[in-house]
Chains A and B, each alone.
Chain A
Amino acid sequence: MSTLTLREAPPERLDFLSITPLSLSGLSQGEAERLEIGTSRRGLRLGDCFTVALDRSDTLVIAGGHERLDRVGASLSGGTIRVEGDVGQRLGAGMAAGTLTVTGQAGPFAGSGATGGTITIEGDAGDHAGGAVYGAKAGLDGATLVIHGRAGDHCGDRMRKGTLLVGQAGAHAGARMIAGTLAALEVGDLPGFGMRRGTLVVGRHGTLAPTFVETGSHDLVFVRLLARHLARISEAHAALLARPLRRYSGDLATLAKGEIWAAG
């Protein structure tokens, strides 16, 4: 288990794109400490802010996070990263495989464009969790994103594939969804706005757009399979599907092949 211990609050935003278990495994202590992670004109090296202890394993622990740590685990292709603290934007963005855990809060765009692996945020996430960044094709794109606390607005915006579980999400959860599954114990106003396909499972919810129409209550085998799948990640979310469900179809303003399952 390699460990990076934060010594002091970083004076500028840091970019952790190149800090993965795989990239550190081939480096000596000195080489790792000299990795550029700063984003300002002054620049900053890994050793300036962190105490580095390497053992060439596929597990990396970042002891002491900070909201200025951007792109932690971005493009991760394997191994495990555990952050004991907060992270900044784009946690696990574009990640393909591996396990990423944050014990504190995450900034915006967590899991954006992630195609595989599992991202767990034990605290809250910012806006656009599992959402697409500017100009990107899709948000969450096959990975599993679990947020135990609250997520901000636009959670799962333009998500295309994968599973997103969140405690409470703000407004526009699952907006413009292309496909995939988003389950939330609570969402704000206009969930699924502009969604084309995909499935939203929600407990309490804010105002639904008038372009979602109720299609009655169903007893589908798919729902029981989905519940079994969700139970492996979160019992609370699977329990939503055991409650009486109303199904809404939409968004009629677009392709209208999406659905919202609202637990009664």
Chain B
Amino acid sequence: MPAWVKGAAADMDTALSAAVELLGAARTPVIAGLNADVSAIRAAYDLAGRVGASVDTLGAAGTYAELGALSRVGAMTSTPAEVVGRADAVLVVGSAPWNAALSARILDARPSRGRAAGSDRALLALGGSAPQGGTTIPAENGILPALALLRAHLRGHLADDSPIAGAAERLSGSLYVAVLYDPAEIGEFGVETVQGLVVDLNDRTRAFALPVQGGNQDRAVVPVAAWTTGQAPRVGFGRRVPEHDPWRFDAARQVAAGEADAALWIASVPAPAPDWLGRVPSIALMGDAAADAAEVVIGVGVPGRDHGGVLWNDTRAALTYWPAQGAGAPADLPSAAAVIGQLAQRLAGRSETAC
């Protein structure tokens, strides 16, 4: 089982001891990444509570763009299956959603259920380029002004013969509209405008938003954080109660400001490590372990490949169990949850560790 301390190969016991020393001596440790299965995310919050650490996630920018808008204006959302089955008009905001697997499913099929069954699917791209047969809505001045213009047209506050006016007409004349966006790309203002646009569309037809948030397990972290702490992901346990503060517990900011003095990076689902990791004494639990990623590196199994685990399922927009793949999986890799559990256990036995 691969483990390294300061770049040199080490056995598990040595690596765990070094990690415990590092975390136990810290005043303000941070636990970041959380790109892992539900059991590891749970263990991470448990450990954070024990050592008074704060928690941050890999996809926090997108997560907070989404949650910020949700907390202010609410959300009308749909699921991928509903959109593939029912939408006769799909508005894709920005360029990121085109990279998602869902886009291919939408392009490949016509609506098969509901009132729009059998009809053609209109594809509109705002701030990106539509594929063959779709309509590209120009957004030279950026996505935000274009979204605002579209909403102003839908509300009847503006009227002209621009492409945006045409798009507004096309959308309100459809039977089931889906608006796809990546919150990290369009930001909180963008998400809020999309949700407002969907609400306005619902005065005339059916419309739903569908966030496409690929590339991280934040959608798994949000419910775990909510049921564990009652809060969104970025909480700190320094004062023994979970305090939610998206600004204060931004791990990159904490490291840049010299506030964090130890970091635990968790990415059992492989993800690139942030550049701030090397600037603070750190421990990394990684699915694709590299010896020089942190002061202490422990290789862990990838959930859904080396061991079973509950992960966010983009296709179904739900948390689902992914079993281990094949019989030839490397059996000596511990799960991230097991390693975090051992860290917590050893820290509890270390007398000077508070909490």
**Bound pair: A and B?**
yes
- On A, residues with C-beta under 8 Å from B are 11-13, 38-43, 67-68, 70, 89, 108-109, 133-135, 158, 172, 175-176, 190, 193-194, 207, 209-211, 251-254, 256
Mark each residue of chain B from 42 to 69: 1 if its CB lies under 8 Å from any CB of chain A, else 0: 0000000001100000000000100110
Distance, CA A67 to CA B72, complexed state (A): 29
- On B, residues with C-beta under 8 Å from A are 27-28, 51-52, 64, 67-68, 71-72, 141, 144-145, 147-149, 151-152, 155, 157-158, 189, 192-193, 196, 232, 236-240, 243-248, 257, 259, 354-355
Told that A13-B259, A207-B145 touch, could you supply 6 new A-B pairs with CB distance under 8 A?
A12-B28, A68-B259, A209-B144, A209-B148, A211-B145, A253-B155
User: A interface, by DSSP: helix, strand, loop or mixed?
Assistant: loop
B244: chain A residues at CB < 8 Å are 134
Distance, CA A263 to CA B346, complexed state (A): 65
A43 → chain B, closest Cβ, in Å?
A: 8
B145 near A41 (CB under 8 angstroms)? no
B68: chain A residues at CB < 8 Å are 134-135
Q: Which 7 A-B pairs have the closest CB atoms?
A: A41-B52, A252-B152, A253-B148, A252-B157, A253-B151, A135-B71, A41-B354
Given contacts A39-B236, A175-B189, A253-B193, contact A210 B149 (CB under 8 A): yes
B148 near A251 (CB under 8 angstroms)? yes
Given contacts A176-B192, A193-B189, contact A253 B152 (CB under 8 A): yes
Q: Which of A89, A175, A190 sits near B248, CB closer than 8 Å?
A: A89
Distance, CA A39 to CA B240, complexed state (A): 9
Distance, CA A25 to CA B28, complexed state (A): 32
Q: Which of A43, A158, A256 sits near B157, CB closer than 8 Å?
A: A256
B189 near A41 (CB under 8 angstroms)? no
Given contacts A172-B189, A193-B148, A253-B196, contact A207 B27 (CB under 8 A): no
A109 near B247 (CB under 8 angstroms)? yes
Q: Which of B64, B155, B232, B238 sits near A39, CB closer than 8 Å?
A: B238
A38: chain B residues at CB < 8 Å are 238
**Residue on B with the closest CB to A11?**
B27
**Residue on A with the closest CB to B240?**
A41
A-B contact pairs, 26 of them (CB 8 A): A12-B259, A38-B238, A40-B27, A41-B27, A41-B240, A42-B27, A43-B239, A68-B259, A70-B248, A89-B247, A89-B248, A134-B64, A134-B67, A134-B68, A172-B189, A176-B192, A194-B189, A194-B193, A207-B145, A210-B149, A211-B148, A252-B155, A253-B147, A253-B149, A253-B151, A254-B151
Distance, CA A211 to CA B158, complexed state (A): 8
B72 → chain A, closest Cβ, in Å?
A: 8
A207: chain B residues at CB < 8 Å are 141, 145
A133, A175, A210, most chain B CB atoms within 10 A:
A210
